[in-house]
Amino acid sequence: MKITFSWLGAVNTLLYIFILAPLAVVIIASFHPGEFLIFPPEGFSWRWYEYVLTSGRYTKPFWNSIWIAIATTCISLPVGTIIAYALSRYEFRFKGVIQSLFLSPLVVPTLLFGIGLLMFFSSMGIKMYFLRLVLAHIVLTIPYVVRTMIASFSNLKRSIEEASVILGASPVKTFWLVTLPQVKSALIASAFISIVMSFDELVVALFLTGPGMNTLPMMIYSDIQFNLSPSLAAISSLIIVVTLAVGFLLAVFMQRKKRI
């Protein structure tokens, strides 16, 4: 077998190492048996994984993040989908402006959005931290849902929907039974993006939560600053492995869909 050396190949190998190194380092460090985070680890143990899963320290923040992500997605997915449907099926005045409005959270820095919301909520006296975060995350995730769904709706053939209406189905029934099943994979992708973004969101959470309401990213952020320990590496590794696995499965699923 002939192996050809190429400069590009060599450089890119180094770049892939650069990309994967921080993730690999966190995972490797999580197996250190001692109390303090050191690299490379001196020995191998599952001790910190056991601690993360059984100590309860991370349990509450984890469930807070999960419930916030689920509540966010339950609203941003349907709302974003009907926005995308309206924008891709109807022509009307100010359509461009309205589309820009729904995509603008992509441009306004999250930090500024967080500050604006903190001022807003405190002047309104809204102290329910769960509600604050869900509302903020809905605004942050809708642009992604809208963008994904617009792309998917505009690929559909209108004739199938028209056939359904001609055969006597109401517009709502047509949307539910004919249009939505055709964009199923885009819906799954949007839901996935929305859950991951909300679960991982840190900046807005730093501004909007208060006593008794900690999310997992906030916990990790403050542990990095004040409490570097192998348990931090273990919880981070769990998050890395789970997100990458789900992302990988989704990519494979989408790729197969495309081929059919």
Partner 1 sequence: MIKRIPPYWILLAPGMLIFILVFVIPVGRLGLHSFHENSSDGEAGQAFVWDHYVKFFTDPYYLQILGRTLVIALTVSVICLIMGYCLAYGASRAKENRKMILLMLVALPLLTSATIRNFGWIIILGRKGLLNELLLGIGIIQKPLSLLYTPTGVVIALVHVLLPYMVLVLYSVLEGIDRNLESAAANLGASKPKVFVLVTLPLSMPGIIAGTLLVFSITLSFFVTPSLIGGPKVQLMATEIYNQMINLLNWPYASALSVILLVTVLIVTSLYNRSLSRSKTGGATLI
Q: Which is nearer to partner 1, 33 or 116 (CB)?
A: 116
Looking at 51-59, 154-162, 182-190, 234-242, which segment touches partner 1 (CB under 8 A)? 234-242
**Any contact of residue 109 with partner 1 (CB under 8 A)?**
yes
Q: Binding to partner 1 (CB under 8 A): which residues in 169-198?
A: 171, 196
**Any contact of residue 240 with partner 1 (CB under 8 A)?**
yes
* Under 8 Å between Cβ of 202 and 217: yes
Identified binder of partner 1 from the candidate list 108, 163, 165, 249, rule CB under 8 A:
108
Q: Binding to partner 1 (CB under 8 A): which residues in 85-104?
A: 85-86, 89-90, 92, 98, 100-104
To partner 1, the closest distance from the beta carbon of 203 in angstroms equals 5
Q: How far apart are CA 193 and CA 185, in angstroms?
A: 12
Q: How far apart are CA 41 and CA 49, in angstroms?
A: 15
Identified binder of partner 1 from the candidate list 44, 46, 63, 120, rule CB under 8 A:
120
Size of the residue set binding partner 1 (CB under 8 A): 82
* DSSP letter (8 states) at residue 40: S
Helix (H, G, I), strand (E, B) or coil at 146: helix
| Tokens linked to 227 | 């409490």
Identified binder of partner 1 from the candidate list 105, 169, 182, 185, rule CB under 8 A:
105
b/e for 62-85, b at 16 or more Cβ within 10 A?
Answer: bebbeebbebbbebbbebbbebbb
